[in-house]
Amino acid sequence: MMQTEGAPLGRGSIHPAGSVEDADLMQTVQTYRRRVTSAYRSVRPEEIGVAITGSPYAVSPKIDGELWFLVFDGSSNCCLISSTGRAITGAVPLLEEVRSLAPKFSSRVVIAGELFAASTTKSRPRVGDVSAALSGGAQASVEKLGFMAFDVVEGLLAAPPLTRPYGERYEALDGLLGKGKRVKPVRTDNAESASELPALFAELVEGGKAEGLIVRSAHGTIYKVKPEFSIDCVVMGFTRRSDGPHTVRSLLLGLTREDGQIQVLGSCGNLGAESDRRDIADQLSKITCDSDFRFPSSSGDLYTFVEPRIVAEIRVTDLQSESSDGRQIRSMVLSHHDSAGWKTISQMPIASCLHPVLVGIRNDKSPGIVDTRISQILERCILLDASAPTKVVQLPKSTVLKRRVWQKITKGKTSVRKLVIWKTNKEEESPNYPAFVIHWTDYSAGRGTPLEREVRVAPDASIAEQISNNLIDENIKKGWEEVL
């Protein structure tokens, strides 16, 4: 099953990403991750009574660990695999505990669960403890590893598991693993109505036994209830509202690495009242600077970069370090120079913030390795190689393919519209770069928002040309004269 020799993990082995050679098995676990675990709906504790519907519910504690899959291969073997193709095999205590079950199955059985490491104190397991246990080599504390099963992905039931109600899947898990010690089903309580959920939250989460709740409704919707937490970030840039040029639409935020470089964390558009947006715009407009890095917002507007002087506190519901297909999320690391502005260095692992909301500008804090340190998120999720040194990456230069400019003079005022298409030449180097970019600029001096921009991307030249032709047809009418 493994195409790569593993490294020691106690008396067992741990195999790196991409080691599982069974393509069908990998598709099964990746599809499960994409369709099920990535579709959780995040709910704040105060929203439990109104945001969660579809009673009755199956309620479980959210274990602070890593998603892995326990696999019985239909012969006499069992192992753990992840959606990235990592694997744990051999004489690891938790696998030894369930190895006697393997001969019961004539076909493959796949079970989803959280791999966790028991805490040496009375506190609940933490995801960082898993990473520490898996990196200990032959001396790894594998006896601390446990597996809390929460779903049947393949086998064990007469019909395909995911076509059956969750109650049937859990009953099958309980029948198979209910007497286990290191490997067992996650605790699951039945709640007839949402009014019972606050008490479970108080017991399990506020009581320090779990990091949150997983609530499965009778309709199939899965809710994740976790307390919110805050992160102090460096403000790196901003976009303006098209209908209000003196107000900020969104902020580009970053975190400071141990070497002083700043890594993009993401954007936040939930900034509060109009007065708050105007105040932030006024602050940021005074400290704009150059950048060789371009970052588009979700609306297509490019961020205007600013000097790293301001700290913003955001509140988030969760962090996500992997995309829905199990790939590690990465973002750009940059350095700032007083004379040259922002300079790109390279992409490194990062986590994505779920539902960020601006708490406020923290004038009592300063950007740096203390107040805006990246360890704020490392305390809550695992980022592989996050502390590895960065290296400046020389990416190919873009090639401008087309540039057209039109003007129109009305009552002595000149309006300008411009189209530029370029090939990035970087799409093979990084998945974060599109193959082609189409940039449309619209300037009209007499308009409330004089300068408007639109950015589109395309995977190939023909689609880029089609997009540009559509922009011209929509925007260049009678009276416009092409001047370039």
> Mind listing the pLDDT tens digit for each residue in 256-291?
999 999 999 999 999 989 999 999 999 999 999 999
**Torsional sign, CA 241, 271, 230, 362:** positive
For residue 246, what pLDDT is reported?
A: 85
- Average of pLDDT values for 152-169? 93
Report yes or no: 87 and 81 within 8 Å, Cβ to Cβ.
Answer: yes
The bridge status of strand 413-423 relative to strand 399-410 is antiparallel
> What's the rounded Cα separation, in Å, for the pair 106 and 333?
50
Q: 463 pLDDT exceeds 80?
A: yes
> What's the rounded Cα separation, in Å, for the pair 326 and 348?
16
Q: 52 pLDDT exceeds 80?
A: yes
Report yes or no: 170 and 164 within 8 Å, Cβ to Cβ.
Answer: no
Q: 253 pLDDT exceeds 80?
A: yes
Q: 393 pLDDT exceeds 70?
A: no
- Within 10 angstroms of residue 412's Cβ, the number of other Cβ atoms is 6
132-159 pLDDT, tens digit each: 888 889 999 999 999 999 999 999 998 9
362 in the Ramachandran plot: left (φ > 0), alpha (ψ -120 to 50) or beta? beta
452 or 335, higher pLDDT: 335
* Owner of token pair 């490019």: 302
Torsion of CA 316, 322, 324, 326, to 10 degrees: -160
The fold adopted by the segment(s) 229-378 is: OB fold (Dihydrolipoamide Acetyltransferase, E2P) (2.40.50)
SS3 call for 46: helix
Which residues on neighbouring strands pair with residue 346, listed in sequence order?
333
Where is average pLDDT lowest: 98-107, 144-153, 240-249? 240-249
SS3 call for 8: strand
Where is average pLDDT lowest: 137-151, 205-219, 269-283, 293-307? 293-307
For residue 261, what pLDDT is reported?
A: 95
Domain residue spans in the chain? 7-42+63-188, 229-378, 399-482
Band of the pLDDT at 3, cuts 50, 70, 90? Answer: low
Q: 125 pLDDT exceeds 80?
A: no
For residue 208, what pLDDT is reported?
A: 86
Report yes or no: 232 and 362 within 8 Å, Cβ to Cβ.
Answer: yes
Torsion of CA 263, 268, 274, 277, to 10 degrees: 0
120 or 315, higher pLDDT: 315
Query: What are the two backbone dihedrals, phi and then psi, of residue 188, each rounded to the nearest 5 degrees?
Result: -135, 120
- Average of pLDDT values for 343-362? 90
SS3 call for 111: strand
For residue 450, what pLDDT is reported?
A: 85
384 or 200, higher pLDDT: 200
Query: Hey, which CATH number is domain 7-42+63-188, 3.40.50.720, 3.40.50.2300, 3.30.470.30, 3.20.20.10?
Result: 3.30.470.30
For residue 326, what pLDDT is reported?
A: 67
Q: What is the mean pLDDT of the chain?
A: 89
- Which amino acid appears at position 154 of this protein? E
> What's the rounded Cα separation, in Å, for the pair 79 and 100?
12
Q: 431 pLDDT exceeds 70?
A: no
The reply to whether omega before 56 is within 30° of 0 (cis) is yes
Q: 121 pLDDT exceeds 90?
A: no
